[in-house]
Amino acid sequence: MNDPRDLYQQLILDHNRSPKNRRVMEDADSHAEGFNPLCGDRITVSIKLDNDVVTDVAFQGSGCAISTASASLMTESLKGKTLAEAQALFARFRAMVMGEAASACEDGPALGKLEVFSGVCAFPARVKCATLAWHTVKAAIERRDEVVTTE
């Protein structure tokens, strides 16, 4: 693989330049902080839920193009999904960027735009960049009941 654009597809570059949902969410139901010790990048992901449906996702922080675009596209993909669908989507996304067979997670929503990250599996050093936002949102979902909101 010699063309950097195999990894850095236009959609990734666009979302890196103008990330979607990079903002503060005042009335979040839960949030979590993710940290990539490899590059020192930090990300905070906030979610808003209506029962078990994700109604809003936002993130803050800045990192490399892969992590920023991944966070941006993730926020778009998760809106309107149930928590079960979100978990299934993460499993499928994770399998794709790690180059694993996706057969185990054929159920659930399709990857859609997220397939733009399929090239990441050829870059083992960058898998964590692609999954950072997902791990962080997972943490936010799992601890949603622990987080006390004053809103």
Partner 1 sequence: MITAKSDSADTLVRTDAQSFDVEAIRRDFPILQQTVNGKPLVYLDNAATTQKPRAVIDAITDHYLKDNANIHRGVHELSVRATAAYEKVRAKVRDFIGADRVEEIVFLRSTTEAVNLVAQTYGHSVIQPGDEILISTLEHHSNIVPWQMLCEQTGAVLKVAPINDAGEIILEEYEKLLGPRTMLVAVTHVSNALGTITPIKEIIDIAHRSEVRVLVDGAQAVPHTPVDVRDLDCDFYAFSSHKLFGPTGVGVLYGKYDLLNGLPPYQGGGEMILSVSFDGTTYNELPFKFEAGTPNIAGVIGFGAAIDYINAVGMERIAAYERDILDHATQTLSAIPGVRIIGTATEKASVVSFVVEGVHPHDVGTILDQLGIAVRTGHHCAQPLMERFGLTATARASFAFYNTRDEVDALADGIRQVIEVFGG
Q: How many Cβ atoms are within 10 Å of 43's Cβ, its own excluded? A: 24
The CA dihedral of 84, 86, 88, 94, to the nearest 10 degrees, is -150
- Which of 57, 74, 78, 129: binder of partner 1 (CB under 8 A)? 129
**Rounded CA gap, 69 and 63, in Å?**
9
Instruction: Scan residues 45-104 and list those touching partner 1 (CB under 8 A).
Output: 63-66, 68
Cα separation, 129 vs 151, in Å, equals 32
Nearer to partner 1, 12 or 49 (CB): 12
Q: Which of 81, 94, 126, 135 binds partner 1 (CB under 8 A)?
A: 126
C-alpha distances (whole Å) from 26 to each of 16, 56, 94, 122, 151 are 23, 11, 29, 38, 9
- Which one of 12-20, 24-32, 107-115, 143-151 is the stretch in contact with partner 1 (CB under 8 A)? 12-20
Contact flag: residue 121 with partner 1 (CB under 8 A): no
What is the nearest approach in angstroms of partner 1 to the Cβ of residue 146?
29
Torsion of CA 132, 135, 140, 146, to 10 degrees: -130
What is the total count of residues that contact partner 1 (CB under 8 A)?
A: 23
Residue 18 is a binding residue for partner 1 (CB under 8 A):
no
The distance of closest approach from Cβ of residue 39 to partner 1 in the complex, given in angstroms and rounded to an integer, is 5
Which of 63, 135 has the CB closer to partner 1? Answer: 63
Q: Of 43, 95, 35, which Cα lies nearest the Cα of 69? A: 43
Residues at the contact surface with partner 1, assessed by CB under 8 A = 1-5, 7-8, 13, 16-17, 38-41, 63-66, 68, 123, 125-126, 129
